[in-house]
Amino acid sequence: MIEKKKMVKRKVRQRRVSSVDVAREAGVSQATVSRVFNRTKGTNVSEETVAKIMQTAKRLNYRPSVIARSLQQNSTNIIGIINRNFESNFHMQSLDMFSRELQKLGYSTLLLNLPEDGTMDATLHLALEYQVDGIILTSTMLSSRLAEDCISYDTPVVQYNRYSLYQEVDSVCLDNFKAGNEVGKYLIETGHKRIAFVSGRKESSTSIDRRLGLIHSLDEAGLPLVAEYTGEYTHESGCEAADAFIHGISRDQWPDAVFCGTDIAATGFIDHARRAYGIRVPEDISVAGFDDTPMATWPQYDLTTVMQPIETMVQETLEILMDLIKYEKSGVIKKMIPGTLVKRSSVIDRR
Amino acid sequence: MIEKKKMVKRKVRQRRVSSVDVAREAGVSQATVSRVFNRTKGTNVSEETVAKIMQTAKRLNYRPSVIARSLQQNSTNIIGIINRNFESNFHMQSLDMFSRELQKLGYSTLLLNLPEDGTMDATLHLALEYQVDGIILTSTMLSSRLAEDCISYDTPVVQYNRYSLYQEVDSVCLDNFKAGNEVGKYLIETGHKRIAFVSGRKESSTSIDRRLGLIHSLDEAGLPLVAEYTGEYTHESGCEAADAFIHGISRDQWPDAVFCGTDIAATGFIDHARRAYGIRVPEDISVAGFDDTPMATWPQYDLTTVMQPIETMVQETLEILMDLIKYEKSGVIKKMIPGTLVKRSSVIDRR
DNA sequence: CTGAAAGCGCTAACAA
DNA sequence: TTGTTAGCGCTTTCAG
């Protein structure tokens, strides 16, 4: 049996045309070619030579090597985005927006994924080895040891969608506590007495803060959290939560409002509560979500939820990062972005 | 008014520690340091010096510069992924899998987005200037002029989720014609006589092929396509399609089965048909989708749909790309991957 | 306005 | 086993 691969010619990657080639062909020095491809800042080259060089460059299909330039300039124009997962709409949209905005700013995006098993050492170091000009860390926090590494590499980092009061790292994050608190206050205002919570991932600090915000509002009103369920970012989790809150429980013990930490869980809750238990939403139970995904506007849900202003968050993150790249760091920035409560019909006024 | 930025110290990025620094500190030559960081292939360095160098490297927090190495080796270990959009689940999952698999193969991902307004010249050239080792083009086709550019740069390209018979570019794509055809045959087999189609984007070649496949099956059975609607990849499009097929149309003119080019449109169709017209799915109208997104398994839909084996498609794409990187190209590969019809209860047997 | 030359940090061939 | 040296392709003084 013959291995197919063995029969094929091994490839030696050919040398690309370089500025030297263009220079030789055009009868000028290599430096002049370089000047032509960088004459943004008043580098003076005669019209004539410019024309000649551009022409032969085009003929030889020459394009400057960003890599060589990076080496010489000590700057790659690459931003590393270290990504934890793509599980939610929020993450996808954020990534999309980051890479588009970076492109507009003249940067490219090096996309790095955290391995499932967790440690980000290797991933972060990879980014540093690529000499990226900056790093955006989504939904993860930097250990102080790794933060040191970034500093010693003089590579700015901004955390997105995660923050810690005890860290020197700049961050941009939705104010999940406040948002959770506002949902709670709204549910209380509208006359709900028996409020329950469905959490996203247990370890997720965003979920934890939303929950704490809710509880704070309940405490102030002297109300209990009557039930809670911890799941994943899935429709099924919402279904399970409905079972947990309703199955085998007498009607007067049901919650009259359920705050779900994610829209997707809210849809699951609503669907299952209706189908399996004939519960009317919002007449029997009000439901609120989080994220304002497209599904929130589907007529059967018409979900009261919290909108995360992704565009603003991305812009703020990039602004901080660009400043860190250009100017000396002075102090730590922890930007908390407020969410917006979007009121729809899935929460009813019970007063 | 004082500009804040003006008050801040402009930053000059410091030089990073290089192998020369380590060499000096450790009292060895720079080449030896390099060897230590590359001793995979039997480069012989004494235990003693290795220890000494590793120690001072750690102390100085030295890490080799991938950029410098790339320049010298004429290879960056970066793969450029040129992405059209993130609008669907399929795209996100593909991107996620690509970047994870590439990372396993020792490559990093440079993520480039096509601008809204369309031309990919700039984007492709950017990738080439970064000297990426290969390019994956998702949901787009390469003009023959740009294909030339890639060839002259000796940079392999593989198209993902798009193909063209007239191109020299390798590609991996779901066999959308066949999949559409199978859905059609299945609907016919199960006794449907009045079949309608809801398209994804009009220009999208994947949608076009799904439609052609469907029509081919109808032709063979001597059945007409009773209605069709062209929308977007949204729930709302599905709702609109329901209006188009049902509103103001006498019951005997309704379709008895609707094939939606995407799951998301199928959910919209089902929801709206039920809510606005009291139609029972599948009793009155059967519905099939495409993609096998998580929603397809939600109980209220339980959608018959076509699963795209994303993992296989990604693996095949990478295999082709890796071969193109290592070996001389011999012939053009156009890999058509079959979809899998997933039968669920949204299509009923009418025989 | 243009050329010569140094050097960014690294690898690899060649010497020792 | 280790050091010396020549580039990789570019930008950027410094001369002319």
> According to the model, what pLDDT value does residue B301 have?
98
Q: Please state which CATH number belongs to domain A19-72.
A: 1.10.260.40
Environment class of A6 (CB within 10 Å of its CB; exposed 0-12, middle 13-18, buried 19+)? exposed
Confidence label for A16 from pLDDT (cuts 50, 70 and 90): confident
The answer to whether A8 contacts B294, with C-beta atoms less than 8 Å apart, is no
> Any idea which residue has 């309703």 for tokens?
A246
Of A15, A235, A275, the CB nearest to B294: A235
pLDDT at A321 over 70: yes
Confidence label for A339 from pLDDT (cuts 50, 70 and 90): very high
> According to the model, what pLDDT value does residue B6 have?
47
- Give me chain A's average pLDDT, please: 93
Taking the C-alpha atoms of residue B309 and residue B291, their distance in angstroms, rounded to an integer, is 9
The answer to whether B328 contacts A8, with C-beta atoms less than 8 Å apart, is yes
Min distance B38 CA to chain A CA atoms (Å): 14
> Any idea which residue has 């809150």 for tokens?
A245
- Where exactly does CATH 3.40.50.2300 map onto chain B? 77-174+310-337, 176-309
Confidence label for A45 from pLDDT (cuts 50, 70 and 90): confident
Q: What tokens appear for B220 in the block? A: 């063979």
Amino acid of residue B217:
S
> Which of A167-171, A272-276, B263-267, B340-344 comes out lowest in average pLDDT?
A167-171
> According to the model, what pLDDT value does residue A3 have?
47
Q: Residues 282 to 341 of A: which have CB under 8 A from any B CB?
A: 294-295, 298-300, 323, 325-328, 330
Buried b (16+ CB within 10 A) or exposed e, B59-87: ebebbbbbbbbbbeebebbbbbbbbbebb
Taking the C-alpha atoms of residue B304 and residue B296, their distance in angstroms, rounded to an integer, is 8
Would you say B175 and B188 are in contact if contact means Cβ atoms under 8 Å apart?
A: no
> According to the model, what pLDDT value does residue A41 have?
64
- Where exactly does CATH 1.10.260.40 map onto chain A? 19-72
Q: H or E stretch including B245?
A: helix B235-246
The structural architecture, per CATH, of the domain B176-309 is: 3-Layer(aba) Sandwich (3.40)
CA distances from A334 to A46, A112, A174, A207, A264 (A): 50, 24, 11, 19, 28
pTM over 0.85? The answer is yes
> Any idea which residue has 């011999």 for tokens?
B330
Yes or no: domain B77-174+310-337 corresponds to CATH 3.40.50.2300: yes
Q: Is the CB of B336 less than 7 A from some atom of nucleic acid strand C?
A: no
Confidence label for A119 from pLDDT (cuts 50, 70 and 90): confident
List beta partners, residue B304: B288
CA distances from A289 to A139, A213, B238, B293, B313 (A): 20, 14, 24, 21, 35
Q: What would the pLDDT profile of A79-114 be if each residue is shown by its tens digit? A: 999 998 888 889 999 999 999 999 999 999 999 999
Q: What is the pLDDT along chain B (351 residues), one digit of tens a residue?
A: 444 444 567 777 788 899 999 999 999 999 999 999 987 666 678 888 999 999 999 999 999 999 999 999 999 999 999 998 888 889 999 999 999 999 999 999 999 999 887 789 999 999 999 999 999 999 888 888 999 999 989 999 999 999 988 888 999 999 999 999 999 999 999 999 999 999 988 888 999 999 999 999 999 999 999 999 999 989 999 999 999 999 999 999 999 999 999 999 999 999 999 999 999 999 999 999 999 999 999 999 999 999 999 999 999 999 999 999 999 888 999 999 999 999 999 999 998
DSSP 8-state secondary structure symbol assigned to residue B55: H
Does residue B76 sit at the A interface (CB-CB below 8 Å)?
Answer: yes
- Average pLDDT estimate for A20-49: 88
- Bond prior to A282 in cis (omega within 30° of 0): yes
Would you say A281 and A346 are in contact if contact means Cβ atoms under 8 Å apart?
A: yes
> According to the model, what pLDDT value does residue B338 have?
98
Q: Is the CB of A116 less than 7 A from some atom of nucleic acid strand C?
A: no
The answer to whether B109 contacts A112, with C-beta atoms less than 8 Å apart, is yes
Nearest of B146, B79, B152 to residue A16 by alpha carbon: B152
